Structure 1
Amino acid sequence: MDQLAPLTSAVAAARAMWGGAAVDSLAPAVLIQLNERLAEAQRLLDASRARIASEIARQSRPELGADSLAKQQGYRNPTALIASVSGSTPGDASRLVKVGDATAPRTTLTGEPTPARHPFVADALAAGRIGAGASSAIITLLDKVAFRAGQLAIERAEQMLVEKAPGLAADQFARLITRAEAWLDPDDIAPREDEMRTETTLHLYEDRTGMIVINGKLCPELGAPVKIALEAIVAERLRAQRDASIPDAAALTIPQLQARALSQLAEHALGCTQRDLPLEGATVIVRIDHADLVDGTGYATIDGVAAPVSVATARRMAAGGGIISCVLGADSEILDWGREKRLFTRAQRLALVERDGGCAMCNAPPSHSKAHHLRWWARDAGPTDLSNGVLLCTACHHRIHDNGWDIRIDGTGTRAKVWFIPPARVSSDRSPRLGGRARFDVAVA
């Protein structure tokens, strides 16, 4: 069998698609497909490089002495040889060797072939579904907890991680790996938390220029309230900057916004007589005619604001807490006074957070997300409940409505699954993509 055949085929497909055209002349659809083909080729190349790296390491075993392949080439060990040739670090080379060792076919002492040590990873890597990075992360985790987790749990976890890895960026997959480790080795969570508590520190001092310098690390227990509070304030500031159309050069950076948010929290604490005082400001009332809401024409007004806003803006504003949508009929009678029916309650939002984990599409934190109706409350008589709600950040909300994506909820309650269905121009077969917390669920049966 030609082990390079899949790689050759992927490269040939990319070459045929690209041809000799300039990149800036390619149609958007071709760019997307070409990016996918090249990424697949890279993953297949990873598989070939891992296999070769493993064999170089085998032929460079320390017991071979001067006959070691690496030493014959003038290198002290195989990782030094691989790193020098590829321009990578010894650590990267070592991980490549580890992947190759764990995914290579094995033989018994009697010469009989046996599966690779991690067969699910091996199959996915060889097929180009995952690359060396994801393979290394899975193998490292499974080897780390193998003794305490047991073989059956290791096999289930390996299969689950391989299935979920495609489509996840490196930071997202790292999040999944962290959750998988907690599921496989729950007894290690408490000791790790104890260790993090001992490392929790905060340094605060004034430097020579008069700047107040803050540097520290907080364990999750202490850091979560700080992170959530700052994210909520920063998210609101970002929305304000975006709505005001502030040029990028004039807009505050995230670190600058976080510094101001921290100061705002401190000012609030110093002057507040109620510890449970909410962060939200005054209630905002958005008024819109029912016909305009249904048709998407016309405009809406905001009490206390002279300039009107678009229907799309009114819908987005009405999706969040602290804002009341007042829907008026033909004779200006009130058809709905938003808070009682239109808006998700605090309990419902918390349930959506439990199900979606934040923005169900891009995994932005809950503080950056709002509850939205799948079927519009006024136009489609959509109910305000979990089966008709989803958490989305502002960017993904625009992406869903502007680009023709559909959303499907399978199941009920907080264990339901959210599926995003792309338009035909993105995926010809409109294959659903899993979103929400279920995308990172590691509680395999």
Structure 2
Amino acid sequence: MTGHLDPLHEALTRLDEVWSGAREAGDLSRTQLMAVTEALGLLHRRSGAMLAEVAACVAHESRTELGADSLAKEQGFRNAAQLIATTTGATTGDASRLVKVGEATAPRTNLVGDRVPAKYPAAQQALASGTLSAQAFAVILALLERVRCKIGAAQTAEAERLLVDKAAGLSHDDVRRLVTRAEAWLDPDGVAPREQEQRDRQSLSIYERDGRIHLDGDFDAAHGAPIVAAVNGYVSALFAARKDRLAPDSPDADHRSVAALRAEALSTICAHALGCENEAPALAGATVVVRVDLKDLTDGTGYATIDGSDLPLSIAATRQLAASGGVIPCVLGTDREVLDYGRRLRFFTTAQRLALAERDGGCAMCGLPPSMTRAHHIRWWKRDTGPTDLENGILLCESCHHRIHDNDWEIRIEGKGRHSRVWFIPPPHVDPARSPRLGGRARFDLAA
């Protein structure tokens, strides 16, 4: 077991080194806080990997064929998941996922007793090194197990390698986004059947309680996209009005939360739909943008995506949605639009914004949907004579735009066209090595 503990001891030693001299977190400088946070993250990932390994062993010693001799029953528990959940303070669902991660990454023996590699060796190495958490791999594992029989062993192994590599350094929420997009890429033929299942599950409950009206909705991608676009467009328009009218510290400034503004948006849009004579509410140019490759559209194969959503859309649903009002079908693979304007135009055109959204997927830094971003010049149009071209453009929300300029981050575009990549280079006081951080859609797309 000593060899298994070495990575954990290394992580503990690193934490001890960066915490050295401080009695509590309040005594740490900002540099030390970041170092401690990173050391704790490494410790968390490595201890989680060890816990998954142990959980698999507990499950093996608690298998049903052992009957009363099962470890879990011996300790007074119904099964291994309950034992692990009680011991670690987790849910039984989390405990079951830990067992599956441990079993999928443990060395195995064949029928003659020889040791063979783990079922998912790339994940095993990433867990052992601390570059991937057990929780993140549990999400990836669920996808690989769903598509394994359909795509075959070779493509599963390649998908495992790509997903494990992409997931390193991502938050758990971003790993889920990665997996959602990867499933459509791995199994495009499965998009349409899943779509029907999701359509059958959609619902909207409306009820009154405690003097208030409650709404609880569940929509598939095609029906949910117009709702999201309209509501977020209204909120974006309100934010723009806030910025133009009042300073944030003004006593009359609107400090309502985004959730409160969304509630107002839905009410206002519905009131207008009922036939009020007022002008349509400002929606900040909100539209539903559906993106699809020309080959997929003509062949009827593959899938499409909706700006601001990670959910894939079948070609049949794409054609149906594109026939609706307020929907822009963005067909990729044609050269009919001029997307670079040099110094002739100061502001990016609608066509350029669509192209930037294809590359950036929304805010290239934080991932907010395209409807909540603006197209900005990397080299400023006026001060630095930057051209209004795609290679000098980027989609950013207001918060990230200010954060980049206020803290001296740099932006670089690698390559050209829809498969180019956006890199954010932190300033020396954030990262002395100034290691580039990948942004935009390329963080989540396996085909990028």
TM superposition score normalised by structure 2: 0.80
In the alignment, what sits opposite 1:236?
237
Q: Secondary structure at the match of 1:202?
A: strand
User: Where does 1:303-342 land on structure 2 (aligned, <5 Å)?
Assistant: 341-342=345-346
In the alignment, what sits opposite 2:193?
191
Counterpart CA distance in 1 for 2:172 and 2:237 is: 28
Counterpart CA distance in 1 for 2:414 and 2:107 is: 39
CA-CA distance at 1:192 after TM superposition: 1.5
Q: Secondary structure at the match of 2:446?
A: coil
The one-letter code sitting in structure 2 at the alignment partner of 1:408 is R
- Bigger mean CA offset, 196-205 vs 246-255: 246-255
User: Unaligned regions of 5+ residues in structure 2, if any?
Assistant: 286-342
Are 1:443 and 2:447 an aligned pair?
Answer: yes
User: Where does 1:54-93 land on structure 2 (aligned, <5 Å)?
Assistant: 54-93=56-95
User: Where does 1:30-179 land on structure 2 (aligned, <5 Å)?
Assistant: 30-179=32-181
In the alignment, what sits opposite 2:257?
253
Counterpart CA distance in 2 for 1:165 and 1:411 is: 23
In the alignment, what sits opposite 2:419?
415
Q: Secondary structure at the match of 1:383?
A: coil
1:241·1:251 contact (CA, 8 Å) conserved in 2?
no
Counterpart CA distance in 2 for 1:206 and 1:22 is: 48
In the alignment, what sits opposite 1:359?
363
Q: Which has the larger radius of gyration?
A: 1
Q: Secondary structure at the match of 1:111?
A: coil
1:120·1:158 contact (CA, 8 Å) conserved in 2?
yes
User: Unaligned regions of 5+ residues in structure 1, if any?
Assistant: 282-338
In the alignment, what sits opposite 1:3?
4
Match of 1:379 among 380, 383, 399: 383
1:373·1:390 contact (CA, 8 Å) conserved in 2?
yes
Q: Secondary structure at the match of 1:216?
A: strand
In the alignment, what sits opposite 1:14?
15
Q: Secondary structure at the match of 2:230?
A: helix
- Bigger mean CA offset, 228-237 vs 7-16: 228-237
CA-CA distance at 1:413 after TM superposition: 1.6
Report Cα offsets for 1:97-126 as digits up to 9, x if no partner. Answer: 111111111122333221100011110000
Q: Secondary structure at the match of 1:116?
A: coil
The one-letter code sitting in structure 2 at the alignment partner of 1:439 is R
What is the total number of aligned residue pairs between the two structures? 386
1:103·1:118 contact (CA, 8 Å) conserved in 2?
yes
Counterpart CA distance in 1 for 2:111 and 2:371 is: 58
Report Cα offsets for 1:223-282 as digits up to 9, x if no partner. Answer: 11110121122123235446531589962122221121123323444357999x97449x
Counterpart CA distance in 1 for 2:269 and 2:417 is: 34
Q: Secondary structure at the match of 2:4?
A: coil
Distance 1:62 1:199, change over 3 A: closer
Distance 1:21 1:436, change over 3 A: same
1:420·1:434 contact (CA, 8 Å) conserved in 2?
yes
In the alignment, what sits opposite 2:348?
344
CA-CA distance at 1:86 after TM superposition: 0.9
Counterpart CA distance in 2 for 1:29 and 1:111 is: 51
Q: Secondary structure at the match of 1:168?
A: coil
Counterpart CA distance in 2 for 1:239 and 1:390 is: 19
Counterpart CA distance in 2 for 1:35 and 1:77 is: 35
Report Cα offsets for 1:53-85 as digits up to 9, x if no partner. Answer: 111111222222232222222223222221121
- Share of identical aligned residues, percent? 49
TM superposition score normalised by structure 1: 0.81
CA-CA distance at 1:207 after TM superposition: 7.2
In the alignment, what sits opposite 2:340?
none
Distance 1:208 1:60, change over 3 A: closer
Counterpart CA distance in 2 for 1:71 and 1:203 is: 43
Q: Secondary structure at the match of 1:3?
A: helix
Report Cα offsets for 1:158-191 as digits up to 9, x if no partner. Answer: 1111111122222111111111111222222111
